[in-house]
Amino acid sequence: MLNSSPIMSNVLLRFLVFWGLNVLVLWVASELFSSIQFSSTSTMLVSGLLFGVAHAVLKPILIVLTLPFLLITLGLFTFLMNAFLLWMTSELSAAMGLGFHVEGFWAAFLGALVVSAVSMLLSMFVSQSDTHRASGKS
């Protein structure tokens, strides 16, 4: 029987929401730029999962390793990190035989701009809902 504790269901819900948002962000980028392509919906779902894992695991490491560049560029280096993570997701997908492809640096960079803009908007929304939840408002 599954554990139906509120903490466990909250973690699962949060995971599903962020996975869905990653898929949505990748879909928007593929619709805006023909150089970012998916062969199927299932490829988009798996790529969204890979992209989310890359962001959760590798981005904090990249931030620490590139901190001087982030400080000098006032955070603009983050776009290059997102481009790298998008390109890396594409390469990993290709190695797994999935049909997700990002054609070159500029496609990854433009896709990263979309990812950054949508992520910024979503983080503002999530932090607002967390603030409302903490204050007892619905």
pLDDT tens by residue, 78-129: 889 999 999 999 999 999 999 999 999 999 999 999 988 887 787 777 666 5
pTM of the model: 0.79
> Which residue from 129, 133, 138 is spatially nearest to 17, judged by alpha carbons?
129
Q: What is the dihedral of CA 116, 119, 124, 125, to 10 degrees?
A: 150
